[in-house]
Each structure stands twice: as structure tokens, then as C-alpha cells.
Structure 1
Amino acid sequence: MVPCMDFLNWLEPDMSFKVLTCLDDPSDLVRVGSVSRSWRHFVIEHGLCKKLCLRMFPQLFRVAGVVELNSPDAEEFAEVGSSNSKELETLEREHRVYAFLARGFISFDVRSSISNAISASSTDNHPEESIHNTLQPRDLVGRRASYWSSKGQSDPAVPEFLIYKLVSDLVVINEISIHPFQGKSFFQAGFPIYSTNAVRFRMGHVKSPVVVEVDSKGESCHENKFVWTYTSEVFRMTQENRLQTFKLPEPVLCIGGILQIELLGRVQRQEMDGLFYICVCHVEVKGKPLSPAFGVEIHEPSGEFVLKNDVQAKLHNQPLENESVVISTVNLENMRDDMLPVVNLNVEGIAEEYEWEEEEGSDEEYFL
């Protein structure tokens, strides 16, 4: 290692910023901030980790501030600009939180991310044909068919929707799969498949301070209790007896942990009553839950939210090498108590940020 030219001292700040924003791996940004005090100051001052997160997931533009929980110097978010020291403190806190968040986006394992079924727009026979049956991966449980069925409609254009609770308030969703039900009983000749013409997905959160409970009858419509912050394109669905997977064009950060599946158009008429039905055996969501390290507090009516980072979850749940992520599928209310380890996350460089101590003397930069 020999002293070399530091381009941050030779280039204009705008050009240096342009160069560093080309980095798309959060580990690289953390390493840049570990080169020297001046480089670290540049990364923090320009919010490079935050900007990387915003590029990866535009949904984060609604963040009003960040809070570090269980930190020795944790305090509630204060607006930038109250003083130079307060501004620097805020920038440093944002740097730590967003650096860890960005790394989590690319490091967590993709896994099943549904916690529970909330409600359906209609249910033909409850509880035999409840939305809760769609959580079962099999179309037969015991000796009974396991599926959800809508009420019959004479108009095939009448839509339906299913609403689910995800395992975390922050989940990066990659794909959603739906298995339509195929009738196999003696009064359904030809084994008809009760598919839908198309599907569309919405993600969002509960309207504060509304508390949404799991529907006990399966017929209540909770749609007006939610705010939808993302709506997907329309995906065509085929009339086939298989799990059909719909991959989103880009991974989406669901803020609030609520997913709605819109079922658009009916295909199959039931011979017994001449009405059109939609029936679903199984729904599966693949994503990356970011709990318990991260949570959100949503502010109404603005829709902005505070991003909360549990420092203890980050520092004390460090992984062993090659250890897998273990995320519980219990209700969100129990996840904080469980404190399951957030693992498979390489935060070696980020940990250095917490231990960084500026030394007295010259600010020498060394480059390989």
C-alpha cells in the first residue's frame, strides 16, 4: 500500500458524487466510507446509502424520518436544519440505517411471506369454502376439497378480491402464485376449472387507527379500511389446473404488510345454477421479510412513515457463516417477542461504522 491520488480532492464535488452514485452494491458504499474520515464524511453528507435505497425501491420516498430503537443514544426523529450538529447527527443516523437496509434488500432469502388471510369480497359457503383454505398448499385436506369460492354471478365481468396479511410491515415481494380450483365432484361434468381471466395485485397498509381483524365469516369487505400504495399491471391467467406464477417486473417493497389480489373476469359457469364462479385452491407469495430488524410507523393522512431500525436486532443477531434466514410466519404482533435472528446478512463493513473513531492527526488516504 502506497499513498496515491485522492480523486475526491481533485474532482469537483458534483463529479465525485456522479462517480460514487454508480456504485450499486451497498457493501461497496460502506467500504468507501471506511477509507478515511474525508471519504466517510462525503458518503454521509451526500446521503449515498439513502439514495441507493431510493433507486432500488422508490416506495421509500414516503419516508419522513428514521429512528434507531434500543440504541444508547436513540431519540425520536427531528427535522434536519435545527442546528449543524443536529443535521450531522441525523445524516449519520440515516447513513447507518439505510446502509443496513440496502444490504438487507439483496441478502435476505426469498421465502413464503403470507401470515394470514384477512377477507374475501364474497364467499359462497362458509367455512367450507373460506379464504383460509387458500393458505393450504394442497387441494385436498383429509377427504374434503380445500378451496375458496366466490358467490355466483350472472354477469361474468363481476370481479372478486382476496386480502392477505404478510409476515412483516416491510416485505420485498418478488412474485405471487395462484392455483385455480378444478371441480371433481359427480355433479360437475368435465372437471371444470374455475379460473379467472386476469389478476392484478395491490399492496399497502391499514388506515390508521383502524384495526383490521381476520374475518370470522368470510363475507365482510375490508377494502375501504386500506390505503393502496402500489398497483401492478394486469396479468393474464390461464384456465389450467396448476400453480400459476406471476413475477413482478421489478421487486416491490410492500410498506404496511397488506396484499390484495384482484380476480378480474369469470370463465366457468356452474351447470347446477347457471351462475359464474371463481374458485382458488392456493395462494403463495414469495418475498424477503425485513422484520424484526425494521418496522414502520405510518402517519395519516399524509401517508408518510417513519422507518424504525432495531439496533439490537442488527448488532446482536449476527449470523454464522452460511447460516440461513429463519423468519416465523406467526402474526406480526408476536414477531417482536420472538426476536428470531436476522441472519445470512454480511454486515461486516456496516459493523465498522458503529466502531469508527476519528483519530487525532493527519487525514491520510491510502489506496490499493
Structure 2
Amino acid sequence: MTSLKVNETILVTGGAGFIGSNFVINWLNQSLGKVVNLDLLTYAGNENNLASLVNNKDHIFVKGNIADDKLVSALMLEYKPRAIINFAAESHVDRSIENPGEFITTNINGTYNLLECARKYWLSLTQEKKNHFRFLHVSTDEVYGSLEMNDPAFTEISPYQPNSPYSASKAASDHLVRAWYHTYYLPVLITNCSNNYGQFQHPEKLIPLTILNALEGKTLPIYGDGKNIRDWLHVDDHCSAIREILNKGKIGECYNIGSNNERTNVKVVETICSILDKLIPSSTINSYKDLIRFVKDRAGHDRRYAIDARKIYKDIGWTAAIPFEQGIEKTIEWYLANRSWLDKIKARRANNNTENHP
């Protein structure tokens, strides 16, 4: 176990996306060192997420693909990062059903390229720097498949049973990372988190989609009977967990990150409606709940996810700090205060077939 020294450089991939941009902003706000931020700026990568860093000399943004071995290797040689944190991924389940090839290319081939570039870079380091280096791969609880109502929560030794092209591609990337540790001894860490929410999330996901549609007076679509359950983790909690794992995690280990905030999809939407009714009551309907519509369920829709986060608490001392009720109100207030950010996103929104939430 080694501690990250202040002012060391890290390489973050996918750092203009939802979770990645929050991680980069939080890192730099704490003056923890330089960040080289590599992002291809696809539909989910958004430079507007990083607007607060435009004059920050410790933020080095590079537009590029994690599958570009020459670019990735050149960045490592130039900036000599102490750690690589891989957020880069295609992550929307509906998109993976419609176009699985992109998920194979980015999530599997891209991760492979990162691992190989990192391995070659790591081998070039002095022994002291080798011991200090970490490759942290950010993954999802969806790799474990689906739980029944009374099943125990996912642990780090739960079998992988992915049910969508997205989760299958993430499961494959996890296996690659694990193999590069056991075969090549690359010092890796893997995290599997529950559903994130918070500021800067793309409005094709459940929570921002519900907020945006409600503001526009559109229907609020909910798949199936709305009783699919997710454990909701605020993105700020997720970022703090990753920092702690980077500092204190045991190499080769996986850590589940959750917040014990299980909610059905319909309950999440109803909660958002109740808060919006209080903050900006509609002049045309009694409640935003009147906009709720149940739509045909998605293919392969997992019924329940739940995270057992005892390992990260026991080994590292981390636990989520933001209750769902506090986090969801904070999130809604952020979206209400950042209408211009939403307006810019709307021009890039996917077609109607991919606007439904996971």
C-alpha cells in the first residue's frame, strides 16, 4: 500500500464524461496534482462539464481515443503519470442494444490498448516508481447480472452474469484488467459501482431525463412496471471512494462501491416530481406525477441491483456520506440552476428511441 503524494500527475481517461469530469474537478479543487485528461468527446463526453477548469494550469485536456496506442504511449512518456484512472467507456444500455459494436470497440479493445500501453510504460520505470504506480479501472455492478427481491447484495466474489451488450463488454474489460495483474503483475485496482447520479449526467439517464422532461412538460417514461430496483450512489461519494481506493487499495483487488440507497425506478421518479412540485409548481397540471407513463420494458432489463460495500469499509474505511433524499434534492437544484448546460446538451440528444432511461 502506498499513499499518493500531492502534486503527482495522474492520467484520467474519459474525464469529460459524467463521472470522469466530476472526479477531475474534485481532484483539482483539492489541489492533489496535475491531471492529464484524455477524452474523445463522443456524445457523452462534454467539454462544458470542464468549464470551471478552463484557466487551471494543472488541467491538461487532450482530445483522443484510448484505442490510439501511439497517442496513449506518448502521453505516458511525456507526463509520466503516477496513476491511470480509466473512466472511458460506452455506458448506455439502450445504445448497446442498438449498436453493440461500439461497446466492443471502446470497452474491450480500448481497455486492452490502455493496459498494454500502461504495462510497457510501467516496465520502463525505476523500481521505486513501479511500486508506486497504479492502474485503476472503473466498472459497474451490472457485470454481476440481476438479483431477485430477497437475494443478498452483490459482493466482490459474486459470479459475473452480464445480461446486456454493455454489461458484457464491461465484464470483459474487468477480466482483461485482472489478467494483466495475474499474468504481467501490472498493479491494478478494479471498482464496481452502483447507479450514479448527480451534476453533469447526460439527460438520457433516468434522473436527468425525468427532470428535463418535466421542465418541458413532456411525458416521464418508465420501463415496465417501474419496480426495477437500483442502489443510487451520488457521484461525489463515488469520486471520494475512488480517491481512497487509489491511496489505500490492495493491488489486484476489486472493490464494490455502493450507498445502501435501494429505490425502485417509479419511486425515484415520484420523488423527483414531488421535489419539483415544491420548487417550481406547474401552472398546467396538478403534479408532475401526472406526466408519468409506463412504457414497454427494455430487452434484458435487470430487475434489481444491490451492492454489499462492507469490504471497502473494512479494508479502507470508506462509506457513502450523502443520503439519497439529500443527494436527489441537491441534484435537482443543480439542474434547475444550470439550464444553459441543459440547453447545450439538448442539441446533441439522441433520437427518441434512446432517450429512455436504463
Shorter-normalised TM range: under 0.3
> Which structure has greater helix proportion?
2
Q: Provide the TM-score with structure 1 as the length reference.
A: 0.24
Q: Provide the TM-score with structure 2 as the length reference.
A: 0.24
RCO higher in structure (CA 8 A, sep ≥6): 1
Larger Rg: 1
